[in-house]
Structure 1
Amino acid sequence: MEKDELTYHVPVLLKESVDGMNIRPDGTYVDVTFGGAGHSREILSRLGEGGRLLGFDQDEDAERNIVDDPHFIFVRSNFRYLHNFLRYHDIEQVDAILADLGVSSHHFDDSERGFSFRFDGDLDMRMNKRAGLTAADIVNTYEEERLANIFYLYGELKNSRKLASM
């Protein structure tokens, strides 16, 4: 498999981000946004005997990028459950946690994900396609005030009331 096929997102400032984690070969690390595995692969390249990395992702597309490495544990879950999984794996502390938060070009370039402005597709916008409500469900069923609050709080839109009334 070609390298380009393994990843759907090339991290910006990859080396700088991982350098900032001060990786120790025997350390324990967490990538809470595994995605295309760019950061995880770099972290793994710096681990040695006793080192380990947990990679969290709830997006089934990320599962195609799972790394076959004895130092790696893939967790098919939202990182909000980080504490539970650390306890499950008998990990009391970690040396560093990496979070590359946001939406990647992979999500915008796939019309079926429902994030794109360039391509036609149903409004979905779920990071976890197995989750319940789509963005279309929300904008078509939530009351105007609830929508306005969502737009204001999470979208930081000053004209949230006007948008919700449309």
Structure 2
Amino acid sequence: MRLPILAALLCLGAAACQPAAPDVVAVKYAWARLSPVPGRPAALYFTLTGAAAPERLVAIESARVQRIELHESMGGGMHGMSGMRPLAGVDVPVGGSALFQPGGKHAMLFGVDPALKPGAALPLRFRFASGKVTAAEAKTIGAGDAAPAE
């Protein structure tokens, strides 16, 4: 009789020991592909992992970039050309993620500090509709370099 009670208590204890979801969205695998042409935009890719409450990414800032815009690639446009459209924000669900990767959602970096070279860390601040901010660094790579492994 005691064994089923003990098993039930262990199950309850295991659930209670699960780590709580973080208060802020996590930024993982951030990297930026620098432009081969000085003065042209760079592209930023990353993964956002959901927090304890739903969030909406509304802006990214960096002291080394004049302006950062959220965009999404679109294929199959006129004459088979691909294009992109700006995004006002991106939702990050609880327990889910939002992927920013080549050929999909990404951030365009305009006015990148010309002193920023491949291999340098790019400091970033991700701003959410709730007012929360997550700081992160992106690894920078050259235009022809392979994307870093996750």
Normalising by the residue count of structure 2, what TM-score does the alignment of the two structures yield? 0.23
Bigger radius of gyration among the two? 2
Where relative contact order (Cα < 8 A, 6+ residues apart) is larger, the structure is 2
Which structure has greater strand proportion? Answer: 2
Which structure has greater helix proportion? Answer: 1
Normalising by the residue count of structure 1, what TM-score does the alignment of the two structures yield? 0.21
